[in-house]
Amino acid sequence: MSDQQPIRILAERSAVPGVLRSLSRRQLLSMTAIAAGGLLLAACSDGGRPSPGAVARPTGGPLEDQLSIYSWADYDDPALLSAFTSASGPKIIVDSFGSNPELVAKLTAAKGTSGYDVVVPSSNYIPQMAANGLLMKLNKELLPNLAHMDTQFAVESDPDSEYAICKAWGTTGFVYDTTVINRELKTWGDFMDAAANEASGKTSVLDDPGELPGIYFWANGIQWETNDEEHLAAAEDYLVNTLAKHVSVFDSNPANGTIPQSTAVLIQAWNGSARQGIMASSTPEKWRWVLGAPNTEIFMDTWAVSATAPHPEASHAFINFMLKPESQLANVAYMGSHTGGAGIEELARAEGLPYLDMIFYTPEQVATMQPSTTTEGIARRVDIYNKMKAAASA
C-alpha cells in the first residue's frame, strides 16, 4: 500500500472479534452514557493541564511488575500478552469497556485513581481526552518501534503521535449466504433489496444507532454524518417502516454465533468480526464479504497511556512490544484489522493469512469510506434506532 495517499481516519472503532458483550463498541444506547462522557470531559477541563494524580513521564527506568490495560473486549492475541510477560516481567491485567463514553467517564470519575495504564480510545476522542488531562504525553524515545508504523496511518488530530498511535483501523460492509441468495450483491442498495426479498426474516444488522441510518445514507449517496432533518426523516421512514420487518436480529458481533451458526443469511458487519465469523464457520465457502458501496465507514482505534498510569515504564515497554512487526502480524491474524504498520500487508501475504481482502483495501476503496468525527445528532439517531427495534419486535 506504499502508493496510497494519506487517509484520514477519525471514526470510532467498533469491529471487535471475540466474545459477545452486552454493550457493543459503538452501541450508544443510553443517552445518559453519552452525556456522561461529554459532560465529564467538559467538567474536568482545566486548560489541558494533567489531572492532580498525573505521574511523571517515564524515562526508561526499570519496569514495574504489573500492567493494567483498559481496552475493547478480546482485542489482542492472548499469546502476545503472555509473550510480553515472559520476556519483560510485568503481569498483565485486562479490563474491557463497551464504548468511548464509558472509557472517558471511568477515567474522569476516578480522578486519577482508576489504576489503568494502557488505554485504547478511538481516534476521534484523542483531542478531547488530551486537552482534559486524561492522557499522558508519550515519551517517544522509549518507543523505537514507532519507526515500523506507516506515517499515512497516523492519527489525523495527533499526526506526531504525541498522545496516540494507531492500533487498528477498519470498515463496515456485509456478508451473505450464497446458498440462499444466488445473485451477486455489490452495494448497500443490493443489501436493502435482498433484505426485503430472499433474506426477509433472516437479516442481521448492527446493534448500533450510528450504523443503522448509514445503510440508507450510504445507499443514497448521503453523507453519513448528516444532521439534515429531511435526510434523517427519510432514513427513519425506511428503517422503521420498511427494513425493520425483515430484520431477525440486531447483532454487533456476528462472529460469536450469527455467522458460524447461520442464524441469518444477510448480515451487516464490521470487517474484523465478519472475517472471524467466516473463519469460524464449518462452511466458510458459502459466505461472501461485500465492502459497503458506494460509500461506507472508516474507523481507527489507538494505543495511548492514561495520564495517571501507575506503571508508565511498563506501559511504554508494552506499546513498543506491540509495535514490533511480528507482534503486529500476530494481531492482524487474530483480530482481522489493519494495524497501520509499514509493510504489514506484505508480511500478511507472505505468511499466507486467509481472507486478506477483508483486511487490506485499495486507495480506491478507502476513498469511499467516511469517518465519524462527531457525536452531534446522536440523540436523533438513537431515537430512530429505538423506533426501528420496536418495529422489528412488533
Positions of CATH 3.40.190.10 in the chain? 31-169+300-360, 170-297+368-393
pLDDT-derived band at 53, boundaries 50, 70, 90:
low
Between helix 312-322 and helix 78-88 the angle, nearest 10°, is 120
CB under 8 A, 24+ apart: contacts of 199-202: 199/246, 199/264, 199/265, 199/266, 200/245, 200/246, 201/246, 201/248, 202/248, 202/263, 202/264, 202/265, 202/266
184-199: b (≥16 Cβ within 10 Å) or e: ebebbebbbebbeebb
Average pLDDT over residues 378-386: 89
Q: Which has more confidence, 27 or 298?
A: 298
Q: What is the pLDDT of residue 210?
A: 82
Q: What is the pLDDT of residue 37?
A: 45
233-274 pLDDT, tens digit per residue, is 999 999 999 999 999 999 988 988 999 999 999 999 989 989
Which DSSP state fits 295?
-
pLDDT-derived band at 304, boundaries 50, 70, 90:
very high
Residue 97 has pLDDT above 90, yes or no: no
H-type alpha helices, the chain: 31-44, 78-88, 100-110, 126-131, 188-196, 211-219, 229-238, 271-280, 312-322, 325-335, 344-351, 363-366, 378-393
Residue 10 has pLDDT above 70, yes or no: no
Q: What is the pLDDT of residue 9?
A: 38
Q: What is the mean pLDDT of the chain?
A: 86
pLDDT-derived band at 41, boundaries 50, 70, 90:
low
Q: Which has more confidence, 140 or 128?
A: 140
Half-sphere exposure of 286 (CA within 13 A, CB side): 17
Q: What is the pLDDT of residue 374?
A: 55
Nearest to 108 by CA among 161, 50, 57: 50
Q: What is the pLDDT of residue 39?
A: 41
Please give the C-alpha separations between residue 83 and each of 80, 145, 318, in angstroms, as whole numbers: 5, 17, 10
The answer to whether the beta carbons of residues 263 and 248 sit under 8 Å apart is yes
Strand-pairing partners, residue 175, are 267, 289
The answer to whether the beta carbons of residues 11 and 372 sit under 8 Å apart is yes
77-86 pLDDT, tens digit per residue, is 999 999 999 9
Most confident of 48-52, 125-129, 345-349: 345-349
Q: What is the pLDDT of residue 21?
A: 30
Residue 51 has pLDDT above 60, yes or no: no
The fold adopted by the segment(s) 170-297+368-393 is D-Maltodextrin-Binding Protein; domain 2 (3.40.190)
What CATH number does the domain located at 31-169+300-360 have?
3.40.190.10
Average pLDDT over residues 43-49: 44
Average pLDDT over residues 133-157: 95
Q: What is the pLDDT of residue 342?
A: 96
- Which amino acid makes up residue 108? T
Residue 7 has pLDDT above 50, yes or no: no
Least confident of 7-21, 95-109, 353-367: 7-21
pTM: 0.80
Residue 378 has pLDDT above 60, yes or no: yes
Residue 394 has pLDDT above 50, yes or no: yes
pLDDT-derived band at 375, boundaries 50, 70, 90:
low
Average pLDDT over residues 80-109: 92
Nine-digit cell at 372? 465519524
Average pLDDT over residues 339-366: 96
Backbone region of residue 80 per phi and psi (left: phi > 0; alpha: psi in -120 to 50; beta: other values):
alpha
Residue 169 has pLDDT above 60, yes or no: yes
pLDDT-derived band at 36, boundaries 50, 70, 90:
very low
Residue 322 has pLDDT above 50, yes or no: yes
What gap in Å lies between CA 380 and CA 252, rounded to an integer? 20
